[in-house]
A and B are shown apart, each in its own frame.
Chain A
């Protein structure tokens, strides 16, 4: 589904990503880990077409995203870092807008489905501005799902959610993974074995580890936190 080949990105003198390669298939949930400033968000921005890589290429469905930007973007559902949203809109109005821009068929049914899946029913007509952090994040996830994308890229999807909501979102991600390729970036390492079947650690823009969460644990035999600290130190 997604093939990332040797991508690099520089901001002035700062090398944000260096020759990063990986692959995500339908059925995969890849945990994208790394300390702050490691290049996770930049990588996600390159994959979604928001930023252009200086070198390398990104293929979605074996099509280069630079050559087929509209097609690639139509296949991606994206929750950017910090969950930016149009605060004056209500969730229902916002999802309706996303559906019309993305020309989603059966938009009403799709909107009802994501509203139900993310438990937004009680707040669907309230301005997003007045919602709690957890609800905002769920609206952000809803907008990334409403067009039923094949590739889902979620930048810290469970940040700010209470334990019950986290559980629900993880459950939803697991359910979605049957038909989609999913990348989630997270700081919560315990989340990785719970929802991911692959994980990738990057630091200073470079890949430090790629494998399954079990491999990661086995390699050190200690807790994931310790392993993580060891890899990036």
Chain B
């Protein structure tokens, strides 16, 4: 499995695409923080503004990374080579997810200059920032797991990209007042609560304080397990 993960990572870094993606991710998250987040004028030495934009950047950034994961293998036919290797199917599925996650973690870590900046300008609570970074990493895994699943459905990268964006968006905002008001007009209260309990933002807000809630952690871990399982089922059914 390690060899599969290494190959996936090599596929990312062998072309300039990975570096371009990372650069765009860093530039977008930074510019949102500085221009729209009033990073300096807020006068508070923490990264809450920065982290509050991250889910919105992820909605576009992560589907762009995951869209080729399975789609490209299907388009090139290399999926046939991959599936005839003497490796258990779950390992193949998981290795794609883990490699993509590692790549996104690499991009997240490269936003460290903003952490240096707040430490230079003020005296932030670095433990909280560490917790926030870990939270963002866990949340990224959830976006990736669904992106990888949608990539397994089609050999067309654009379709996989769009589907992932739409579903990521729905899961992100399902706890938003606008969304809740809308569905509460149509559906019973129990269903509204259920939908809002699936919101990334609801769970992410607890992470933003820097303290993991057990519920939030379990939510993201189960979410990842579910989508990876769906990807696995997708390929088991293909047989």
Whether A52 and B84, one on each chain, are in contact in the complex, defined by CB atoms closer than 8 angstroms, is: no
Partner of A50 from the list B3, B7, B83 (CB cut-off 8 Å) is B83
Whether B86 and A71, one on each chain, are in contact in the complex, defined by CB atoms closer than 8 angstroms, is: yes
Least CB separation from A80: chain B residue: B80
Which of B10-18, B32-40, B106-114, B220-228 binds A? B10-18
Please provide the chain B residues from 56 to 77 with a CB less than 8 Å away from any CB of chain A in the complex: 76-77
Residues of A with C-beta under 8 A to B81: 78, 80, 84-85, 143
Cα separation A70 to B76 with both chains bound (whole Å): 24
Whether B3 and A101, one on each chain, are in contact in the complex, defined by CB atoms closer than 8 angstroms, is: yes
Partner of A48 from the list B4, B14, B84 (CB cut-off 8 Å) is B84
Least CB separation from A77: chain B residue: B84
Least CB separation from A88: chain B residue: B14
Whether B11 and A86, one on each chain, are in contact in the complex, defined by CB atoms closer than 8 angstroms, is: yes
Least CB separation from B238: chain A residue: A51
Whether A85 and B84, one on each chain, are in contact in the complex, defined by CB atoms closer than 8 angstroms, is: no
Cα separation A81 to B76 with both chains bound (whole Å): 11
Given contacts A49-B84, A73-B86, contact A80 B77 (CB under 8 A): yes
Given contacts A88-B11, A100-B3, A100-B6, contact A50 B80 (CB under 8 A): yes
Whether A82 and B77, one on each chain, are in contact in the complex, defined by CB atoms closer than 8 angstroms, is: yes
B31 interfacial by beta-carbon distance below 8 Å: no
A188 interfacial by beta-carbon distance below 8 Å: no
Please provide the chain A residues from 151 to 172 with a CB less than 8 Å away from any CB of chain B in the complex: none
Whether B85 and A102, one on each chain, are in contact in the complex, defined by CB atoms closer than 8 angstroms, is: yes
Whether A74 and B86, one on each chain, are in contact in the complex, defined by CB atoms closer than 8 angstroms, is: yes
Number of interface residues of B (CB under 8 A): 21
A209 interfacial by beta-carbon distance below 8 Å: no
Given contacts A50-B83, A70-B86, A89-B14, contact A97 B77 (CB under 8 A): no
A20 interfacial by beta-carbon distance below 8 Å: no
Whether B11 and A84, one on each chain, are in contact in the complex, defined by CB atoms closer than 8 angstroms, is: no
A87 interfacial by beta-carbon distance below 8 Å: yes
Number of interface residues of A (CB under 8 A): 29
Least CB separation from B2: chain A residue: A100
B239 interfacial by beta-carbon distance below 8 Å: yes
Whether A76 and B80, one on each chain, are in contact in the complex, defined by CB atoms closer than 8 angstroms, is: no
Residues of B with C-beta under 8 A to A102: 85-86
Whether B80 and A45, one on each chain, are in contact in the complex, defined by CB atoms closer than 8 angstroms, is: yes
Partner of A70 from the list B14, B15, B88, B239 (CB cut-off 8 Å) is B88
B119 interfacial by beta-carbon distance below 8 Å: no
B126 interfacial by beta-carbon distance below 8 Å: no
Please provide the chain A residues from 48 to 98 with a CB less than 8 Å away from any CB of chain B in the complex: 48-52, 69-74, 76, 78, 80-82, 84-89, 93, 97
Given contacts A80-B81, A84-B76, A101-B4, contact A93 B10 (CB under 8 A): yes
Whether B76 and A87, one on each chain, are in contact in the complex, defined by CB atoms closer than 8 angstroms, is: yes
Whether A85 and B83, one on each chain, are in contact in the complex, defined by CB atoms closer than 8 angstroms, is: no
Cα separation A72 to B6 with both chains bound (whole Å): 24
Residues of B with C-beta under 8 A to A93: 10
Whether B10 and A85, one on each chain, are in contact in the complex, defined by CB atoms closer than 8 angstroms, is: no
B213 interfacial by beta-carbon distance below 8 Å: no
Given contacts A88-B14, A88-B15, contact A101 B85 (CB under 8 A): yes
B87 interfacial by beta-carbon distance below 8 Å: yes
B78 interfacial by beta-carbon distance below 8 Å: yes
Least CB separation from B85: chain A residue: A101
Least CB separation from B80: chain A residue: A80
Cα separation A74 to B87 with both chains bound (whole Å): 9
Cα separation A71 to B85 with both chains bound (whole Å): 10
* Chain B min CB distance to A78 (Å): 5
Residues of A with C-beta under 8 A to B79: 84
Partner of A89 from the list B10, B80, B84 (CB cut-off 8 Å) is B10
By a beta-carbon cutoff of 8 Å, the part of chain A in contact with chain B is: 45, 48-52, 69-74, 76, 78, 80-82, 84-89, 93, 97, 100-102, 143
By a beta-carbon cutoff of 8 Å, the part of chain B in contact with chain A is: 3-4, 6-7, 10-11, 14-15, 76-81, 83-88, 239
**What are 6 of the A-B contact pairs (CB < 8 Å)?**
A70-B87, A74-B86, A80-B80, A84-B79, A85-B76, A101-B4
Return the 8 tightest CB-CB contacts between A and B, nearest first. A84-B77, A52-B239, A100-B3, A74-B86, A73-B86, A80-B80, A84-B78, A101-B3
Extra pairs beyond A89-B14, A97-B3 (4, CB < 8 Å): A80-B80, A88-B11, A97-B10, A101-B85
